[in-house]
Amino acid sequence: MSAVAVVVGRARSVSLVGIEAVPILVEAVQLNGLPSFQIVGLPDTAVNEARERLRAGFHAIGLTWPNRRLTVNLSPADVLKSGTSFDLSIAVAILGSMGFAVGHDAVVLGELGLDGSIRPVSGILPALLAAQNSGTRMAIVPRGNREEAMLVEGIEVIGAHHLAQVALLCGVPGLIVPGPQESTAEPLELPQSVPDLSEVCGQEEAVLALEIAAAGGHHMLMVGPPGVGKSMLARRVPGILPDLSTSEALEVAAIASLRGERISSLPVRPPFAAPHHTASSVAMVGGGSGIPRPGAITAAHRGVLFLDEYPEFAARAIQALRQPLEDGFIDLARSKANVRFPARFQLIAAANPCRCGHRLDPGGTCTCTSRDLRLYEVSLGGPVRDRIDIHITLRRPSKADLRRGGTFTSAALKAEVAEARERQARRFASLPYERNADVPGSWLRRNTQLTNATMSRFEEGIMRGYLSLRGYDRILRLAWSIADLAGHDGPSEDDVAMAFMISGRMEE
């Protein structure tokens, strides 16, 4: 019996597993038998539902749907395929099985509407970054994702708005491409406000602590009565951090794309994420059924994670921060996929001094019992707090502070932070560290020259129990950041004294 020649249509696509992308080969073949349409290769519900969108899309452009047994294979078959971005690549593969081919080794991504329109999808940027690394030089994407796709250098981007347009690229003759449906309403663009530290009245010690935190990448906890400006200060931290490098901006933009945000340009300012205190551990670190999605800590990657009302967060959500605080990433294991998300963020937490909030408020009366205070203190503690370098207490600004207004500007502090980061970059040029907060204790103890008086202070703290060995290392890290801001070659005695003060580890 002689073999029967069959035409296998092929197209290339990408499957996102976390922020990593896996190249997918889409194959389509028509065989003799009862008319049917089957998609194999571990598709999820959204991919399987593409069958109806494809039938309707082919009908919308006037193409006859194959009256044979049509099989589409997504390879490799052991990788879960999720989302609607496979619609367009499956359509191209089916056109290939009919004898029409794109003629280019292009990656094809996009969702089909029932009228044949091509709709934007999430994750275009990380998908094309992976395609670029594998040597791809052309991509066909939805017109609404074209600006995002063009952020990837070295790839020719075709923005398609209708299936007929793609079919013409495949060589299908005689098709009329409908014009793109433009929105009649202009997109609403709100001016992006840039909070400035000049708007903060008083709180000089807190602003100085923020600058030290920004200079060294240190985590920070602010405690104070309601209304003293904890949230105002935290929201101004991105304004004094160094601008993102191109590689960092691509990471941040890829995460935003994966979360469904529309990207038209690379971000410059570090991101700021502020989950509500009712957020679950899944909302915090990521998760969900099927392939896990990124959470708030990944949205804050290369930027700031602000936890307002820190003690009100569920204990499970807070404990989930332990791995990313130490490692800079979070591993999520699910039945269908194991995913690693980047989570290199700077934690800024804020809390009231007690449950009622008036313990340190001269204008209010604390109504908490001694038991309430003990329980609240426990909620402020734990392993995560032990990983926070800076602990400061805020008081209400005085009338003189309010009359005087702000004494700092974000621009001035940003310049000082940039100089401090440059000193760290030179110091760690041959080492795998970027910031003082990343440096292990062994390096700090080996490379920090301390006076006898300072060493005696450390030894006394350890002997009296208010300073652990881990706390010793954290004070050294802070002292280096203070020295970098001051332009010192190493921590002075005054730098170490300041580090003790802002660490909250003062002797009784």
Check whether 507 has a pLDDT greater than 60.
Answer: no
pLDDT of residue 471: 84
Cβ burial, residue 279 (10 Å; 0-12/13-18/19+): middle
End-to-end CA distance of the chain: 94
pLDDT of residue 463: 81
Check whether 217 has a pLDDT greater than 90.
Answer: yes
Higher pLDDT, 504 or 260: 260
pLDDT of residue 459: 81
Among 173-187, 200-214, 458-472, top mean pLDDT goes to: 200-214
Q: What is the mean pLDDT of residues 452-476?
A: 82
Q: pLDDT digits over 428-442, tens only? A: 999 999 999 999 988
Q: What is the mean pLDDT of residues 349-360?
A: 88
Q: What is the mean pLDDT of residues 116-137?
A: 93
Cβ burial, residue 371 (10 Å; 0-12/13-18/19+): exposed
Check whether 148 has a pLDDT greater than 50.
Answer: yes
Confidence of residue 230 (pLDDT cuts 50, 70, 90): very high
pLDDT of residue 110: 97
Q: What is the mean pLDDT of residues 392-408?
A: 78
Q: What is the mean pLDDT of residues 53-77?
A: 95
Q: pLDDT digits over 365-399, tens only? A: 888 998 988 888 888 877 788 889 999 999 888 77
Q: What is the mean pLDDT of residues 66-73?
A: 95
Q: How far apart are the C-alpha atoms of 489 and 486, rounded to whole Å? A: 9
pLDDT of residue 190: 41
Check whether 400 has a pLDDT greater than 80.
Answer: no
Confidence of residue 169 (pLDDT cuts 50, 70, 90): very high
Confidence of residue 182 (pLDDT cuts 50, 70, 90): low
What are the chain's domains?
A: 8-169 (3.30.230.10), 197-419 (3.40.50.300), 439-508 (no CATH)
Q: What is the mean pLDDT of residues 48-61?
A: 95
- The Cα diameter of the chain in Å comes to 98
pLDDT of residue 18: 83
Q: What is the mean pLDDT of residues 134-146?
A: 93
Amino acid identity for residue 104 in this structure: H
Relative to beta strand 8-17, strand 286-287 is unpaired
Check whether 508 has a pLDDT greater than 60.
Answer: no
pTM for the full predicted model: 0.88
Check whether 401 has a pLDDT greater than 80.
Answer: no
Q: How far apart are the C-alpha atoms of 353 and 371, rounded to whole Å? A: 14
Q: How many other CB atoms sit within 10 Å of the CB of residue 461? A: 19
Confidence of residue 5 (pLDDT cuts 50, 70, 90): low
Structure tokens at 156: 């020719």
Check whether 336 has a pLDDT greater than 90.
Answer: no
Least-confidence region, from 24-33, 34-43, 361-370: 361-370
Check whether 52 has a pLDDT greater than 60.
Answer: yes
Higher pLDDT, 437 or 468: 437
Check whether 163 has a pLDDT greater than 50.
Answer: yes
pLDDT of residue 450: 83
Q: What is the mean pLDDT of residues 177-200?
A: 65
Q: How far apart are the C-alpha atoms of 64 and 228, rounded to whole Å? A: 68
pLDDT of residue 407: 79
Q: How far apart are the C-alpha atoms of 26 and 494, rounded to whole Å? A: 65
pLDDT of residue 4: 55
Q: Are the beta carbons of 5 and 115 closer than 8 angstroms?
A: no
Percent of the chain with pLDDT over 70: 94
Structure tokens at 324: 């990313």
pLDDT of residue 184: 41
Q: How many other CB atoms sit within 10 Å of the CB of residue 367? A: 12
pLDDT of residue 337: 74
H or E element in which residue 88 lies: helix 87-97
Check whether 1 has a pLDDT greater than 80.
Answer: no
pLDDT of residue 377: 84
Give how far Cα 91 sits from Cα of 13, 76, 94, Å: 12, 18, 5
Give how far Cα 192 sits from Cα of 189, 195, 257, 269, Å: 9, 10, 19, 11
Q: Secondary structure of 130-147 in the HEC alphabet? A: HHHHCCCCEEEEEHHHHH
Q: How far apart are the C-alpha atoms of 434 and 412, rounded to whole Å? A: 22
DSSP state of 311: G
Task: For the chain, give the mean pLDDT.
Answer: 89
pLDDT of residue 104: 75
pLDDT of residue 405: 66
Q: Please provide residue 496's backbone torsions phi and psi, each rounded to the nearest 5 degrees.
A: -65, -40
Q: Are the beta carbons of 224 and 353 closer than 8 angstroms?
A: yes
pLDDT of residue 147: 94
